[in-house]
Amino acid sequence: MKVLYVGNDLELINQLKEEKKTAVIVKRNGLEAIKILKSSTKIDVVVSDYELTGNNGLFFYNKLKEENLAKIPFILLVKEYNQTVFKKAFQAGVNDFFVLTTTSKKQITERCQVLAKQNSETKVENGKINAKVSYKIPLSKRIFDVVVASSILIVLSPFLLVTILAIRLESKGKVYYTAKRVGRKTFDFYKLRSMKEGSDKLLKELAAKKNQYSNTLTENEDLKEDQPCPECAKLPEGYYCSPLKYAENEKVCDYMYNYRKEVAQNKKSSFIKIVDDPRITKIGKVIRNTSIDELPQLINVIKGDMSLVGNRPLPVYEAECLTKDQLSKRFLAPAGITGIWQVELRGKGGNMSEEERIALDNKYADYFTGNNYSFWFDIKILLSTIPALFQKSTV
């Protein structure tokens, strides 16, 4: 794999160079990079910083499209999350977007490898590109799912009955919970009930205050987005409370800039996950922390709605928010009881940004293109799930 990196992140350059069978060409600006792409040098993936000398990464990518050089997979890197740049990047058609402060360099290099392999497999005779990528679920995965799910249900059935009795004794209502979920298709999703009755009515209010994927503001919650900075207003004219930034032809202090960024992220969050949810019962807290509440999903696996390993199925209201190709790509992988993002971060307390979750979901979807699927990778995720079950957070 040959990577053209446009930028100056030495840590990323070193990480790319450490990868086996990977060559790296480093350029500091878009003009030098275009010269390389126009030469006879074969490039598999282009990785670019957003902040470049003389222009930015999006300007560079649009220039590649003008020069008919945008068929090569393109990854854009930003130092901090910016909702406007994120939106413009995917509207322009970049293949992926990473925030350097929240993403490991290893994850970026792995994404390069997947995109390079995927791009090479879409090439057909006469140098034409077949834009349609096939996502297939291997038969071996389906057989494994049915055998393992059935065996677990039989072995744990006595324990499951005791748990059902405990739920019924603590609170009134059904012991199980059924809801519509979206994976590769829409289906009825089964869980043991871990919340009080009528909990759905409180969701909207809690999502506004305790959504893990929102940056809930702790100060100046009533401050309007287009309002002048209240801290600067306390100072003499011409003085500012923090360093100045220039955002969309407007001069704004750093305090107000970050506030607006938080507001934008809060409004645009696609996922909802309530932190320390007050709707959860005492028994519910135990079965959620140990994922016992998810045992009925083995029935979904046997029915073919889900797989043991996959991307988490989403509620309909969340799935409707994921309309762009790069966001909806996650649904090309099977819905699963556990997956990459649960294993990597759930055991650490459930702290995860929305863009991290999107990247991990898309990463797993890429395993179902061409011959990328690895049975042993699924086994590794299943084995890693066991310690992740015993978490402290109730999210």
pLDDT digits (tens, 9 = 90+) for 197-226: 655 555 555 555 555 555 444 444 444 545
pLDDT digits (tens, 9 = 90+) for 314-331: 887 666 666 555 566 778
DSSP state letter for 214: S
Q: Note the pLDDT of residue 131.
A: 47
Q: Note the pLDDT of residue 125.
A: 38
Query: Between 332 and 248, where is the model more confident?
Result: 332
Where residue 104 falls among pLDDT bands split at 50, 70, 90? confident
Q: Tell me the average pLDDT of the chain.
A: 77
Type and span of the H or E element at 92: helix 83-92
pLDDT digits (tens, 9 = 90+) for 267-283: 545 454 555 666 778 88
Q: Note the pLDDT of residue 327.
A: 61
Percent pLDDT > 90 in the chain is 15
- Cα three-residue angle 120-124-129, rounded to 5 degrees: 75
Closest CA to 100 of 207, 232, 11, 208: 11
Q: Provide the residue type at 38 as one letter.
A: K
User: Which of 199-208's residues contact partners 24+ apart within 8 Å by CB, and which partners?
Assistant: 199/279, 202/279, 203/272, 203/274, 206/274, 206/277, 206/278, 206/279, 207/272, 207/274
pLDDT digits (tens, 9 = 90+) for 139-179: 899 999 999 999 999 999 999 999 999 998 888 888 888 88
Measured distance CA(65)–CA(61) in Å, rounded: 6
Q: Note the pLDDT of residue 264.
A: 56
Q: Provide the residue type at 267 as one letter.
A: K
Lowest mean pLDDT among 89-103, 109-123, 291-305: 109-123
pTM of the model: 0.48
Q: Note the pLDDT of residue 251.
A: 66
Percent pLDDT > 70 in the chain is 70
Q: Going by C-beta distance under 8 Å and a sequence separation of 6 or more, which residues neighbour residue 393?
A: 275, 276, 289, 349, 350
Where residue 296 falls among pLDDT bands split at 50, 70, 90? very high
Q: Note the pLDDT of residue 320.
A: 61
- One-character DSSP codes across 225-278: TTSPPHHHHTSPTT--SS-EEEETTEEEEHHHHHHHHHHHHHHH-----BTT-T
Distances (CA, A) of 175 to 39, 115, 178, 296, 297: 65, 44, 10, 11, 14
Q: Note the pLDDT of residue 363.
A: 84
Strand-pair category, 176-182 with 186-192: antiparallel
Q: 191 by DSSP, 3-state: which? A: strand
pLDDT digits (tens, 9 = 90+) for 342-392: 777 654 455 566 667 778 888 888 888 767 788 888 898 888 877 665 554
**Whole-number CA gyration radius for the chain:** 24
Q: Note the pLDDT of residue 161.
A: 92
CB 43 within 8 A of CB 37: yes
Tokens of 227: 């309002």
Closest CA to 30 of 4, 1, 12, 68: 4
